[in-house]
Structure 1
Amino acid sequence: MMKSICIVGGGSSGWMTAIYLNRYFNQYQAQVQVRVVESEDIGIIGVGEATVHSIRYFFAAMGLDETELLEATNATFKTGIMFRNWMKPVDGQMHQYFHPFDQLKPPMDLDISTSWLLDRRFELERFDQGVSLSSFLIANGHSPKTPQSAPYQGVVPYGYHLDAVKMARFLRKKAIEAGVLHSVATVSDVVVANGNIQSVQTDQGEFSADIFIDCTGFRGLLIDALKTDNWQSFTDALPCNKAVAIQRELPAEPKPYTTATALTNGWVWEIDLVDRQGTGYVYDGARLSREQAEQELRDYLGPEAAVLKCTHLDMKVGCRKEFWVGNCIAIGLAGGFIEPLESTGLHLINLGVRLLSTHLAGSELTQPVRDSYNRLMNGFYTDLKQFIVLHYCLTDRDDTAFWREAAAKAEYCPGLVPQLAAWRYKVCEYMDLAGTFSTTFTDENYRFILYGMGHYPQLQARSDNRQFDELFSKVGQQGKHAVLSTLPLPAWIRQMHGMKSSI
């Protein structure tokens, strides 16, 4: 029987894993010793500061108080991502579209997406503006919360913009209070015997366990000690392998959404916290030097940007062939990485540890159990790779070689090219993606990207203008009601954070 788990590495992955496994195995009775060994010398990358909406369920399941969490991490709300400049300008205006977390589902014979297409509303508005309440909220700068909203609840699904370093410290505090053992030590050697890790040697002594979890980031210190040639690269489909991140003072009131603006050889994120803005340029390192990328980012931000910190990052794009080898499981960056275009970093940690808990729950850890975990984790990363490629391959930009070659990236995702051809003449629907490993991004999410990028299907006219008028009139009424019932984001910040806010 498994009696001990040693997690090597802290940060988001280490402490999310620790707090979850400790609660899973020890909430009612102490069964498994959970220990985190982390070094103060190894800094937390702390770049991915936006989340998908499902991370709320993780925090809620851990019994964390939402207000305390948000105050501790200088957090604000995120209701989606605004994509800018991913296609050529339209009528002299920069192209943009919004990918929210919600889509309305009115009771009628046609779904709202088909109704929107048949009514040719793309001639009047963006897709998100016709089918999502979040679009009404962001247009007015509103949070997803009413004054009476319960913890982890809002009028629309929402994620967070948060300080990743502060989040790791908050989770560490809560995990230790719940019984997780914490050792500050630097690993000097990994002792392996018979295909398993026996112990890790550190400057503070030796630590043994039944199960070791590798949360050492891109280094993969533990998993690499067990298996070489265990990496599959995604750089053929996703060539952006570097980033330059800049923290700066808030230039204006914080936005309740993430912004992803395409530049010459990649894209820039903007994430507004209570006390600052996180920005970064994710780019193709084969086309830009570090200096060129940093200059392009600084030019984008403008000379008035009050820069607090600048960091350059090398990213290892892809994932493990086997996430679980012997008695070692890689989670977080040690297991894989896909560029943060859809804010999936914490989501993949959440998936990895939740799935691991059920696979560790058996009375015996057999190879079929490991194979099951590896198959599912590979499926999650492969499906996510396709969804991210979708954002690139629909572009009509031809101003640089990077963008001219983007359309061909669909060829590196088996099945995507014929799907795109089919979606020229039919709506993207649930059955198109059924049987895949999709976890967060379903047919609804695909439609926001497809139609946001102008990939509209040509449908045979089957119109009822009166029904369409009634439907979209109700959407407008619902949107106005959502705005009236929610708080503007600055008002929510003042209410939640008080004098801590710079607003």
Structure 2
Amino acid sequence: MKTPLSRITIVGGGSAGWMTALYLNRYYNSGEKRTAITLIESEDIGTIGVGEATVHSIRFFFAAMGLDEAELMRETGATYKTGIRFRNWKKPVDGKMHEYFHPFEEQRSPGPFDMATSWFSSDRPQGERYDELGCLSTTLANAGHSPKSPTSGPYQGIVPYGYHLDAVRLGRYLRRKAVEAGVEHRLGTVDKIELDGERIQAIHCGGARFESDIFIDCTGFRSLLMRQLKTDNWQSFEDALPCNKAVALQLPYPGDATPRPYTQATALPHGWVWEIDLQERRGNGYVYDGKRLTRSQAEAELRQHLGVPADMGKALHLEMKIGCLKSFWVGNCIAIGLSGGFIEPLESTGLHLINLSVRLLATHLNGADVAQPVKDSYSRLMNGIYDDLKRFIILHYCLTDRDDTEFWRQVAQSAKHSPRLEQDLALWQHKVCEFMDQAGSYATVFTDENYRFVLYGMGHWPQFPPLGSQAQHQAVRQQCQARAKMALEQTLPHPAALRALN
């Protein structure tokens, strides 16, 4: 009989630590307390607080934790996010900047063909984007509308949505909720780790000694526990995804601007800039290739793009490790969050990866002594998740036709670092991307529908003879337009939806 799991110790706070603590406490101690959970964090080490956008599936995590959505959004200064507007990722056409929208919603065709086949087969208006026909989120974003109707319940909307939120405030909010639920919170900096081979016996913090069945490393890029346990455990993705640094700048809204219900990602000469609107401010940041720009050059490019003088706002410079561990579970230690890996923040997957990691851990961690095949399964699945996300992020870069800098010439060739993607791109020259093309993938948040929005937004269109009649496709167009009109009538403008939180 397995030895019961009596104690879990999490080292590191922030979103990773407190999401992990909250979930595991609810999983193991629902109804009756069986497992003591302690989180140790240091007051001396700050939290990386610039990853402020999420994917839509994080709603399900917050809902499962019993968090009140309105309270969550008030406490974190959050706004709604219906997708990402990409700008300047290809060359301008006829003097117009390249642009497309990537939403979270499913594509439901009202006709006999799937939406992509109908769009490619129709006599569509010149210059119409793929997302402009059947995508309600595009309509809402263009009108500045939220995903919420006046009668929408918590975590429900007309279309799927994520959030823009203050990551530091999120960590504090989750800490309060976890402590209220019974998680022990200790302040201290780890100054000694007792090891027995690849197993942690105890950790020491400020004179206190902590033993535990399981230790969870949520110490960020420092990977404080994991790097003590196993050398040669890192695999870098920087050959395929060279953006390894960022500079962030938080600014007040200009003039009478109101928060936009979408993230904006604008390509610059050596990377791209995020613009993320919270209730009281706008978060901006330049993700760039640190081999091609110095910190001062990157900050200057960001300020020039935003039209912000050098003396306005304090810039925060970040070093990022792009890649993931080979083994996420070593001995009695598991890495979650940045200590396990990081894919650049282009599709806002940071909190999503924490969510996946801790849910997967809960089903694998079934006692104090876990069999090696179970640990290997966890690492294999986590590697699959990271590899799938890597492939999807490469997709955004490799379809560019920009050649104005060496950076863009390099990333245009990045598909060669993903043989699966190269194979798919060759296939999608001749047919639409469909569910079975991506079946069996690990990163379930990005499906064939997400691939289509990026593929067709970047102009990677299949070539095949039109199917069906123009009358059928015109009927689809009319029904899509009617649905979009109804969505606008039913949803609240974004500022009104935010006011309704109070």
Whether the 8 Å CA contact 1:191–1:200 is kept in 2: the answer is yes
Q: In 2 relative to 1, CA 469–107 (structure 1 residues): closer, same or farther, beyond 3 Å? A: closer
Q: Which amino acid aligns with 2:345?
A: P
Please say if 1:263 is aligned against 2:268.
yes
Which of these residues, 440, 445, 448, is aligned with residue 435 of structure 1? 440
The two structures have a TM-score, normalised by structure 2, of: 0.97
Structure-2 residue corresponding to 1:329 = 334
Structure-2 residue corresponding to 1:189 = 192
Structure-1 residue corresponding to 2:455 = 450
- Secondary structure of 2:100's aligned partner: strand
CA positional deviation for 1:493: 2.0
Structure-2 residue corresponding to 1:240 = 243
Spell out, residue by residue over 1:269-317, the C-alpha distance to the aligned partner (whole angstroms, 9 max, x if none). 0000001010000000000000000000000010379944310000000
Whether the 8 Å CA contact 1:50–1:258 is kept in 2: the answer is yes
CA positional deviation for 1:363: 7.5
Structure-1 residue corresponding to 2:117 = 114
Spell out, residue by residue over 1:45-70, the C-alpha distance to the aligned partner (whole angstroms, 9 max, x if none). 11110000000000000000001000
Whether the 8 Å CA contact 1:246–1:307 is kept in 2: the answer is no
Structure-1 residue corresponding to 2:305 = 300
What pairs up with 1:399-478 in 2 under 5 angstroms?
Answer: 399-478=404-483
Unaligned runs of 5+ in 2: none
Whether the 8 Å CA contact 2:90–2:98 is kept in 1: the answer is yes
Spell out, residue by residue over 1:429-460, the C-alpha distance to the aligned partner (whole angstroms, 9 max, x if none). 11111122132111000000000001110111
Separation of aligned partners in 1, 2:311 and 2:385: 39
Whether the 8 Å CA contact 1:104–1:133 is kept in 2: the answer is no
Which of these residues, 347, 355, 359, is aligned with residue 364 of structure 2? 359
- Secondary structure of 2:232's aligned partner: coil
Separation of aligned partners in 2, 1:345 and 1:307: 28
What pairs up with 1:107-146 in 2 under 5 angstroms?
Answer: 107-121=110-124, 123-146=126-149
Separation of aligned partners in 1, 2:455 and 2:146: 26
Structure-2 residue corresponding to 1:380 = 385
Structure-1 residue corresponding to 2:58 = 55
Unaligned runs of 5+ in 1: 498-503
Q: In 2 relative to 1, CA 234–137 (structure 1 residues): closer, same or farther, beyond 3 Å? A: same
Structure-2 residue corresponding to 1:272 = 277
Structure-2 residue corresponding to 1:215 = 218
Identity %: 61
Separation of aligned partners in 2, 1:362 and 1:427: 46
The two structures have a TM-score, normalised by structure 1, of: 0.97
Structure-1 residue corresponding to 2:71 = 68
Separation of aligned partners in 2, 1:390 and 1:400: 19
Whether the 8 Å CA contact 2:188–2:205 is kept in 1: the answer is yes
Structure-2 residue corresponding to 1:501 = none
Separation of aligned partners in 1, 2:227 and 2:406: 35
Moved more, 409-418 or 430-439: 430-439
Which of these residues, 319, 324, 331, is aligned with residue 324 of structure 2? 319
Q: Which amino acid aligns with 1:190?
A: I
Separation of aligned partners in 2, 1:288 and 1:464: 52
Q: Which amino acid aligns with 2:493?
A: P
Structure-1 residue corresponding to 2:486 = 481
Spell out, residue by residue over 1:454-482, the C-alpha distance to the aligned partner (whole angstroms, 9 max, x if none). 11101112231111111111101110110
Whether the 8 Å CA contact 1:249–1:306 is kept in 2: the answer is no
Structure-2 residue corresponding to 1:286 = 291
Structure-2 residue corresponding to 1:163 = 166
CA positional deviation for 1:362: 5.2
Q: Which amino acid aligns with 1:465?
A: Q
Structure-2 residue corresponding to 1:9 = 12
Whether the 8 Å CA contact 1:425–1:459 is kept in 2: the answer is yes
Which of these residues, 224, 227, 243, is aligned with residue 227 of structure 2? 224
Whether the 8 Å CA contact 1:82–1:99 is kept in 2: the answer is yes
